[in-house]
Chains A and B, each alone.
Chain A
Amino acid sequence: MAPKLRQIQRTGEQAHKEALTYFHLDTFHDRMRTAAAAEWGVAARSLSLAGQGAQLLHVRHLITAGLLWVVLTAVGELLVVADLYPTVGSHEAQDFDDIFRFLLLLGVPVMTFVFAVLIYAGLQFRIRTAVPTEDGPAMRGQGWFPRAWLAVTGGLAIFVMIYPGLTGLAELQQGDKGASGWGDQEAEVTIKATAFKWQWLFEYPDGTQVSVAAGKELVLPNETSIKFEVNAADVVHSLWIPAFRMKIDAMPGRTTYMTVKPNKLGEFASDQAYRVQCTELCGLDHATMMFPVRVVEPQEFESWLASLNEGGN
C-alpha cells in the first residue's frame, strides 16, 4: 500500500505545482493566484485521502471492462473460423485466406478494445441527472500511459507491416524490381490476355485464341504455373479471378502480368468464383465484362486445346 500512497501524494504535489505554473500564465493578482493554488493543494490532498477508495473503484472498473473486452473478442474471433471466402482455387488463394485470417485474429481484439471501453463507459459512467452536476476527475493523460499506448500501437503497426505485409510482398514480387506484376516471371504456361470494351481475348502459347466468339471459356491446367500477360486495347481494365484471389490491371501501353498456380478443379457453371472479372470501371458494360474459367487436369487441358485447334481451323 505504501508505494501507492506515495504515488498519490506525489500526484497531489504535482497538481499543486501545476496549479502554480498554470495561474502564473495569466494576469491574476498574486494574492488570488496563491489562494487558488492553495485551494487546489487542499483539494489534491483530500483527493489523496479519498484516493485509496477511488483507486479500488478504478481497479474494479478496469477489471469489468477488461472482462467485457474478453467476451467481445471471443465473439469477434468467430469471424476467424467463419467461411467468408470464395472457393480456394489456387495456392495464392490459400495464402490470401491464411493472411486474411491472421489479420482478423489480430484486428478483432483491437476493434473490440475500443468497443468494450465505449460500451462500458456508456453504461457505467453516464450521469442519470437531467444536467451534469459535477465534473469528472481531471485526468490529463500525461506521463507513462500515452507513451505505453504509443509503444503498443506502434509495435502492432510495425509488426503487421513486416509480417504479413513486407514478407508477403516479397513472396509475391519474385520478378525483377522494375517489373509490373505478381509472382514468378517464368511459368509453365503463358497466356496473353487482352482487355477491350467489354470483353477479353486470351491467347495460348500455341496461338490458340479464346473469347466470346471462340471457345467461350478459359480452360486452365491444374497444378501448373500459369502466367497471364495482360494488355488493354482501349481503356484501363483489370483482370481478376476470385477463386485465385489474384488481380492485375490491364493498362493501355504497358504489359502487366500475374502468375497463378491453380490447385483445385472447378468451373464457372457450378462455381461463380471461377470467372475472369473486370474490376476497373471501364464504361457502359463494365459489370458484364466477365468470362468463364474452367480448371481441368493437365491431360484434359492438352486434349481440349487440340480439339479447339481442330474445330477452329
Chain B
Amino acid sequence: MHALKSVAGAAGLGMIGFYLGLGFVAVLRAMLGYPDAWGGEINIVGGYVFGLVGWLMGIGMWGIWIREWFGLKTYQRRAPGWQRYFTFNTDHKVIGIQYLVTFIVVFLLAGLLALGMRLELASSGMQFISHSQYNGAMGLHGILMIAVAVAAVIGGAGNYAVPLMIGADDMAFPRLNALTFWLIPPVAVALLATPFLGGIETGWTAYPPLSTTTNSSQILFDLAIITFGLTSILGGLNFIITIIFMRAPGMTWGRLPIFVWSMFVTSWLAIFFTQGFAVALLMILLDRVAGMAFFSAEAGGDPLLYQHVFWFYSHPAVYIMVLPGFGLALEVISHFSRKPLFAYRYAVGAFLGILGLSGVVWAHHMFTSGMPNYLHGPFLVATELISIPTGLIFLSALGTIWMGKLWLQTPMLFAMAVIFNFACGGVTGIFLADVPTDIHLHDTYFVVAHFHYTIVGGEIFALFAGIYYWFPKMTGRMYNETLAKLHFWWMFIGFNLTFFTMHLPGVKGMNRRVADFPESLDNLNMLVSISGWLLGLSFLVFMYNMINAWIRGPVAEANPWRARTLEWQTTSPPPHENFPEQPVIKGHPYDYGVPGSVHGVFPNSGLAGAPSGSAGGGGQ
C-alpha cells in the first residue's frame, strides 16, 4: 500500500520532529536557566516547526525537491491509481482533487459542529453542552469554515480548472503547488487538536487581550493559521505566474474565461493581504511566548491595533472567498444559457474594481470598536462604493440568462442560486455598511445571517456548481442528475429558511457567539435550528451521489455540457499532459450563437472546440 506508506511514514516523521522540537526548546530553556524547561508554550512552537519540517520531508519534499539542493538525484514515488492522491504529486489535476476532497470533509466536519451548536440554540437555557464547549465548537466551526471558504474553490476548482482552461499542461510551479496542499494536513491536525488544550475561546477573530491571555490552544491556532496563510500566498503566486505566462497562443486577456479572470484577481488579493492575518497572529504569538505586549494596554500596547491589522486581511478575505465564486457562477451561467457572457468587459472591470476597493474598507468591521470618530465616514463611503462593481456582476449574470436557452442542469441551478442568494446578502450588507444601522446590528445574528448569505449562499453554492460541473471531467463518470437536483432544491430551501430567518433574532436583540439567549427569542431560534438541521441533512444526498457516481457511475463524455472552453475539448479525465497537443485559441470562449466562431483548436490533430450554432458539436 503506497498510500498508507506515504502518509503514515510522513506522519511518523512529523511526530518525531514534533518531539524533537519540544525537546530542543526544552534543552535551550534548561541551558538558559528557566525553571520549567518543558512547560512553556514556546515548546509547542518548536515542536510544531520541527514537526512540520519532518512531515513535509516525509511526504515527498525530500525526494522530489530538497535532494536537488544538495546535488543529489531526485526521485518521486509512483503510486498507482487512486493511491497517487496520497503522495506528493505535482499534477495540478491531482492537487485540485486533493483540495476538493479534503475541504469537503472539513466542510462536513465543521457543518456537524454547526448542527451541534444549533441543537444547543434550539431553546434558551443550557441543555446539551457547557458554555466552554459551545465556545470551542463555535471557534472551531468558524475557523474551519473560513479555511474551506478560502481554499476549496481556489485550491480545488482553481487548481483543477485554471491550467486546463488556459491551455497549459500544468501550473507554473508544480512542486510549489504540491507543497501548498501538503501544508494543509498539519493545519488541520493543529486546529483539531485545539479542544485538547482547552478549546478556541476567542472565535476565529482572536481579538486580544482575550487571545493573549486565553488557554494554550491559541498557540496551535496561531501556528496553524500562519501556515495556512503561507499556502494562500504561495498558491496565489503560482496562479499569477501561471496565468500570465502559460496561456496558450491566442489566449489574449480579452479571451480569458471569466473564472480564470476571477482567480487571477483573487490571487492578487491573496498575496497583497494574507500577511495581515499572519502578522496579526504572529504578534499574538509573540505577546504570549516572548512577552512583547503589542496589545497589552497597561504595558503601552493597544488592543485596537490588532483589529486594524486583522481586518486589513480579513475583509479582503471575503473577496478572496467570493470572487472565484462569482467567476465560477458566471462561467457556468454562460455555458448553460448558451449565450455569450453579457458585458464581459464590465465583469472583468468589476473584479478589478473590487480588487482596488477591497483594501480600503476594513474598518467597517470596527464601527463600534471605539476607534476615533473621524474614521467612520471614509470607511462608510468606501464600503458603499464597493456595491457598484458588485452590481456589475449581477448585470453580467442577469444579462446572460435573459433570452438565453437555459439548460437547467444541476450546475446551472447552483450558479443561479449564487446570484439569488447574493442579492439578499448584498442588500443586507447595506444595513451593515451604513453606520446608523450598524451600531445596533453589529455583533448580532443579523451579521451572522448576512455573512452566511454571502459566503455560503455566494461562494459555497458556487463551489457545488463547480463540483457538479467538473465532476464528469475529474472522475470520467457522470453523477445522477435526479439526486443532484434533489440535493440542490433541498439545500437551497434549507439554506434560505435557515439564514433568512436568522436575521430576525438579530434585529430583535440576539447577540452572536452565545450559547444562551433571552427566552423571548425562543420561537425564532427553534425555527432556525430546525431549518439548519434540514439544511445539514441535504448533504447526505450529495455524499451518496458523489461516492456512488465516482465508483460506479456511467462513463462520462468528453464534453457532456456542450461547453466551448478548453477543458471540455480533451478527454474525461484528461491525460497527464492535459491536451493531445498545444491548443491554439481562435476566438472568444463564450461566443454561443455566433455562426462559425471557435474558441480553441488543435492545429495538427484536427480536434476543434465546439463550433457554435450547432449546440451538439463539442469535443470529439
Q: Hey, which bits of chain A sit against chain B, CB under 8 A?
A: 22, 25-28, 36, 39-40, 43, 58, 61, 84-86, 95-96, 99-100, 103, 107-108, 110-111, 114-115, 117-118, 121-122, 125-127, 131-142, 145-146, 149-150, 153-154, 157-158, 160-161, 164-166, 168-169, 171-173, 175-182, 230, 234-236, 238, 240, 242-243, 245-249, 251-254, 256, 272-273, 275, 277-288
Contact = CB atoms under 8 A, between A and B. Distances in A.
Pairs of residues from A and B, 5 with the lowest C-beta to C-beta distance, nearest first: A253-B297, A168-B436, A141-B343, A242-B509, A287-B514
A82 B562 CA distance: 47
Contact of A279 (B371, B416, B511): B511
B580 interface: no
B370 A121 contact: no
A88 to B, nearest CB: 12
B439 A84 contact: no
Nearest to B509: A242
Interface in B466-497: none
B294 to A, nearest CB: 12
Contacts of A245: 439-440
Given A115-B420, A169-B376, A177-B372, A135 B436 contact: no
A163 to B, nearest CB: 10
A132 B615 contact: yes
Given A251-B303, A286-B514, A177 B436 contact: no
Contacts of A36: 595-596
Interface centre among B213, B443, B504, B515 (most CB of A within 10 A): B443
Given A141-B343, A150-B392, A158-B384, A135 B405 contact: yes
A284 B346 contact: no
23 contacts: A43-B595, A107-B428, A111-B424, A114-B420, A122-B406, A125-B337, A133-B616, A135-B405, A135-B613, A140-B343, A141-B395, A145-B343, A146-B399, A149-B391, A165-B380, A165-B381, A166-B377, A173-B373, A173-B376, A253-B298, A279-B512, A281-B202, A281-B513
Interface in B130-186: 131-132, 134-135
B369 interface: yes
Given A132-B407, A181-B373, A284 B131 contact: yes
A61 B380 contact: no
Query: In this complex, which of B210, B214, B388, B562 has the most chain A Cβ atoms within 10 angstroms of its Cβ?
Result: B210
B331 to A, nearest CB: 16
Interface stretch (B17-25, B224-232, B516-524): B516-524
B521 to A, nearest CB: 8
Given A40-B595, A157-B388, A238 B439 contact: no
B531 interface: no
Contact of B592 (A108, A138, A286): A138
Given A100-B431, A103-B431, A278-B511, 8 more contacts: A111-B424, A132-B405, A150-B392, A236-B303, A246-B439, A251-B303, A279-B444, A281-B513
Nearest to B203: A281
Contact of B373 (A158, A179, A249, A252): A179
Given A118-B420, A141-B344, A168-B436, A136 B405 contact: yes
B401 interface: yes
B236 interface: no
B381 A161 contact: yes
What's the dominant secondary structure at chain A's contact region? Answer: mixed
Contacts of A169: 376-377, 380, 435-436
B406 A125 contact: yes
B408 interface: yes
B302 interface: yes
B427 interface: yes
B388 A153 contact: yes
Nearest to B396: A141
Contacts of B615: 131-135
B369 A246 contact: no
A136 B612 CA distance: 10
A252 B209 contact: yes
B591 interface: yes
A165 B384 contact: yes
A145 B396 CA distance: 11
Nearest to A15: B594
A84 B380 contact: no
B402 interface: yes
Contacts of B442: 247, 279
B207 A103 contact: no
Given A153-B391, A169-B380, A272-B520, A279 B209 contact: no
A252 B303 contact: yes
A284 B514 CA distance: 10
A284 B210 CA distance: 10
Given A134-B615, A160-B430, A251 B304 contact: yes
Given A121-B404, A180-B370, A136 B593 contact: yes
A114 B423 contact: yes
Contacts of A246: 439-440
A40 B593 CA distance: 11
A165 B434 contact: yes
Contact of B423 (A95, A111, A242, A249): A111
Given A141-B396, A157-B385, A134 B210 contact: no
A121 B403 CA distance: 7
A114 B398 contact: yes
Interface string B191-207: 00000000001110101
A26 B597 CA distance: 11
A283 B210 contact: yes
A95 B435 CA distance: 12
A95 B423 CA distance: 26
A95 B436 CA distance: 8
